[in-house]
A and B are shown apart, each in its own frame.
Chain A
């Protein structure tokens, strides 16, 4: 479950981010990534909700959906989007439905990819495919707006 979008060709904006300094630059970049990925996230959560409405997971997958950024290196930041297996709300929904007391949910890959005896109910891939082009197209504009916004602060 590791689909990736790598954007290049934003050298001017990259230079502006570098001039803002490490901390402010990262914050601005993170805001832009969060905003640009919002349609993809909303679609994935909505897909997960319809997976949950089939009754088995009581909406736990949708409740577990999250996105977060990670600064891997000085010049490399990634945004990850998907279900968090230790989400308290999701675990509590699951336990209430199934009368269990598990502390984490480990079945999300089975929904996304299925198993040999059960078909997949993909919720991440349709969202990724539907929004990857618009995300790549809009990211530069959103980042420029965020840099301008940060400059006014």
Chain B
């Protein structure tokens, strides 16, 4: 799922219109000085039980991905997070080799970080992504 998700995020024109190439796994590189930026990482993953009566049934997996939208100003980060959410949450279909069945926003937290004399605003969004696995 990780590679498929990364490909989706970096190749979706609506998402790159918000973040450009500033989409990173886990955390922001210290060299990054342009905002808004997006970081993503897996927070949890759970498989559903297999259907015992159907040998051809696909196994469903529910992953929780933490997506952090980061910017310098509060208004910028909230605006970027809203835009991203409106694009990402409605997605259904194929993401690389994965058939996404459902995306739901499971949590939203507003967080902040201070690095030296610079403040960063962060909107942390959790998405529960349900997809089929062969």
Q: Which residues of A contact B (CB under 8 A)?
A: 1-3, 109, 113-120, 122, 125-126, 128-130
Contact = CB atoms under 8 A, between A and B. Distances in A.
B120 interface: yes
A40 to B, nearest CB: 12
A125 B64 contact: yes
Interface in B94-111: 106-107, 109, 111
A88 B78 CA distance: 38
Given A1-B109, A3-B107, A125-B126, A116 B115 contact: yes
A118 B43 contact: no
A125 B41 CA distance: 13
Given A1-B109, A129-B62, A116 B122 contact: yes
A2 B120 CA distance: 23
A94 to B, nearest CB: 21
Those 7 A-B pairs whose CB atoms lie nearest each other, nearest first: A119-B26, A126-B44, A129-B44, A116-B28, A122-B43, A116-B113, A125-B43
9 contacts: A113-B111, A113-B124, A114-B27, A116-B70, A119-B26, A120-B41, A120-B43, A122-B44, A129-B64
A130 B27 contact: no
Majority secondary structure of chain B interface residues (helix, strand, loop or mixed): strand
Interface of B: 26-28, 30, 39, 41, 43-44, 46, 62, 64, 66, 68, 70, 106-107, 109, 111, 113, 115, 120, 122, 124, 126, 128
A125 B128 CA distance: 11
Contacts of B126: 125
Given A3-B106, A126-B43, A130-B44, 8 more contacts: A113-B111, A114-B27, A115-B113, A116-B28, A116-B68, A117-B28, A120-B41, A125-B107
A75 B58 CA distance: 43
Given A3-B107, A113-B111, A120 B44 contact: no
Nearest to B121: A116
Nearest to A47: B44
A129 B46 CA distance: 7
Contacts of A120: 26, 41, 43, 66
Contact of B115 (A3, A109, A117): A117
Contacts of A116: 27-28, 39, 68, 70, 113, 115, 120, 122
Contacts of B109: 1, 113
Given A114-B27, A117-B30, A130-B44, A122 B66 contact: yes
Contacts of B124: 113
A116 B77 CA distance: 13
Contacts of B64: 125-126, 129
Nearest to A113: B124
